[in-house]
Amino acid sequence: MTRTRNVTALAFGAVVVVGVMLRFVTRSDLWLDEALSVNVARLPFGQIAPWLKHDGAPPLYYWLLHGWMSVFGTGDAAVRSMSGVFGVAALPLAWWCGRRVGDARTAWLALLVLAVNPFAIRYATETRMYGMEIMLVFAGILLVRRAIERPAPIRLALVALVAAALAWTHYWALGMLGAAVLVLAFAARRSTEPAVRRALFLDAVAIVVGTATLLAWLATLRYQSQHTGTPWAIAQLPPGPVATSLLEFAGGSHPEGQLLVYPMVLLAIFGAFGVAAQGWRVELDARAPTSVRWEALVGLLGLTAAATIAWLGGSGYQPRYAAIALPFFVLVVAKGIAVLDNARLRVGAVVLVVACGLVGGVRNVTENRTQAASVAAVIHDQAKPGDVVVYCPDQLAPATHRLLGRNDLREVKYPLDPVADPRVGLVDWVDYVARLNANPPELAARRAFALAGKHAVFVVTSPGYTTHDALCPAFVTDLAVLAKRRVDVAVGPDAVTFEHVGLSILPAR
């Protein structure tokens, strides 16, 4: 028995260590959002918040990244390591949350499930705010639970602080914070114990107070909602984002994700409604007061609320936005595994989760998320000083420009006027569609042709961008007609790559 426990502990520790290592390793170059995050954070500190009026996010992550880069530099590993640190910090928080919603078994399972989760691993290796969100949500769950046990002022202040941090990190967190307040208020109303009712009420107030700090950002938020939004995506009805998020938590559309999503959803149901039974049986009871029921409710309601708010506001959805719900999903799945009474069944569930998770984690190490390096290499080798590089759409500029390493070329972006742009690595979303309409392909082609003169034109382009699907092919065609020369395809977009980028070249006269 002791030998079995030792082997189990050794295997468990090895898996967690591998999970930690995977949070710092990937061969991918920075893709659009990552390169853009770095470029925003590289602005002088006082210019970050004003520039975000041209973007669509609150400033906390960019402020932190600015400070991080001032210490560790701007290399790929350096800028990603902050997310890796957040990813590792979430692991002990997951253990403590699991201990609060269950027993020691649930705690260790929560740690294990998070350690190998491919969604958590990916965003621990991206220069974006989602790894930070995951860590903050775990911290919030733990702090709320502690404040319910004893609503001391310092504990409530920490709840408010985490709520404020989430609100200032990503707008989708507002839906989760609102759901938490509603669930706490509902639980307080149902409680028959005055002390518990008071603790739940104070927790809700602390979250409201923390969230209310975003009022200082309200003018920028209002401007963003009126002038930026997500013109690159189409709003989706809430059921779509919720279902897609569950698939992403399991590993996405890759084979391991498609295999794992069904058992993980089943385990989540066991966690929310399951009651341990002998042998291979699990009894489901919608009325049973399972210890993780409130977390399941907040996670599902919060994700649905955020998706609904986005849909009503005409904003788009990306699976990474669901980072706010992952901690709740991890805890409910861990509880679902813990409910399994049969040891073989429980071990089988763990092996499946670990195996599929590690496959996704290794995939994250080996796959490149962007073709920008291939495109930049061709431009670097073939372009002559004074040649023109046109990014169509402009969203391809941050990643490619970062890798290009040339300052003797004239880089311009569609829909901006074709003049050398000192901020080619930034994307301006203000009144985006209107600016596109003011720059039809023929006009843009004339401007690019005039700018190039006798020089070559390198057009970095990609299909699949809602705003540019019709514009960019027409731009390339019009450019060829004006030049009376053929535009050659040097790099074809590879649809398998997350950010697939192509390159067309109009040779010099």
Starting from the edge strand earliest in sequence, which strands make up the sheet with 410-413, in order? 410-413, 388-392, 457-461, 502-506, 488-491
Q: Considering the domain boundaries, does residue 6 fall inside one?
A: no
385 shares a domain with 354: no
Measured CA to CA in angstroms, residue 74 lies from 24, 50, 277, 322 at distances of 15, 22, 54, 27
Coil, strand or helix: which one is 382?
helix
Instruction: Check: pTM over 0.85? Answer yes or no.
Output: yes
Q: Considering the domain boundaries, does residue 4 fall inside one?
A: no
304 shares a domain with 170: yes
Q: Considering the domain boundaries, does residue 196 fall inside one?
A: yes
Q: What would the pLDDT profile of 66-100 be if each residue is shown by its tens digit? A: 999 999 999 999 999 999 999 999 999 999 999 99
Name the pLDDT band for 418 (thresholds 50, 70, 90). Answer: very low
Q: Considering the domain boundaries, does residue 148 fall inside one?
A: yes
158 shares a domain with 67: yes
Q: How many domains does the chain have?
A: 2
Mean pLDDT on 363-378: 96
Q: Considering the domain boundaries, does residue 392 fall inside one?
A: yes
451 shares a domain with 311: no
Interstrand relation of 388-392 and 410-413 (parallel, antiparallel or unpaired): parallel
Q: What would the pLDDT profile of 236-259 be if each residue is shown by its tens digit? A: 999 999 999 999 999 999 999 999
Return the closest-CA partner of residue 184 out of 148, 140, 157, 138. 148
Residue 5 reports pLDDT greater than 90? no
Average pLDDT taken over every residue of the chain: 93
Mean pLDDT on 13-26: 97
421 shares a domain with 469: yes
Predicted local distance difference test score (pLDDT) of residue 59 = 98
Residue 4 reports pLDDT greater than 80? no
Beta-bridge partner residues of 502:
461
Residue 218 reports pLDDT greater than 90? yes
Predicted local distance difference test score (pLDDT) of residue 420 = 46
270 shares a domain with 233: yes
Q: Considering the domain boundaries, does residue 19 fall inside one?
A: no
Q: Considering the domain boundaries, does residue 1 fall inside one?
A: no
Q: Considering the domain boundaries, does residue 18 fall inside one?
A: no
Q: What would the pLDDT profile of 423-449 be if each residue is shown by its tens digit? A: 789 998 988 888 899 889 999 999 999
317 shares a domain with 382: no
Q: What would the pLDDT profile of 130-146 be if each residue is shown by its tens digit? A: 999 999 999 999 999 99
Q: Which amino acid, residue 113?
A: V
58 shares a domain with 36: yes
338 shares a domain with 208: yes
Last residue of a domain, one of 340, 366, 392: 366
Q: Which amino acid, residue 277?
A: A
Residue 3 reports pLDDT greater than 80? no
Poorest-confidence range of 236-245, 374-383, 417-426, 487-496? 417-426
- % of the chain residues with pLDDT over 90: 82
Predicted local distance difference test score (pLDDT) of residue 422 = 59
320 shares a domain with 390: no
Last residue of a domain, one of 350, 366, 382: 366
Return the closest-CA partner of residue 223 out of 444, 51, 37, 47. 51
Q: Where are the alpha helices (DSSP H) in 251-342?
A: 255-273, 293-312, 326-339
Poorest-confidence range of 286-295, 300-309, 317-326, 410-419? 410-419
Residue 455 reports pLDDT greater than 70? yes
Predicted local distance difference test score (pLDDT) of residue 315 = 87
Q: What would the pLDDT profile of 97-131 be if each residue is shown by its tens digit? A: 999 999 999 999 999 999 999 999 999 999 999 99
Last residue of a domain, one of 331, 366, 401: 366
Q: By residue range, what is the domain housing residue 44? A: 28-366
413 shares a domain with 342: no
Predicted local distance difference test score (pLDDT) of residue 69 = 98
Predicted local distance difference test score (pLDDT) of residue 279 = 76
311 shares a domain with 256: yes
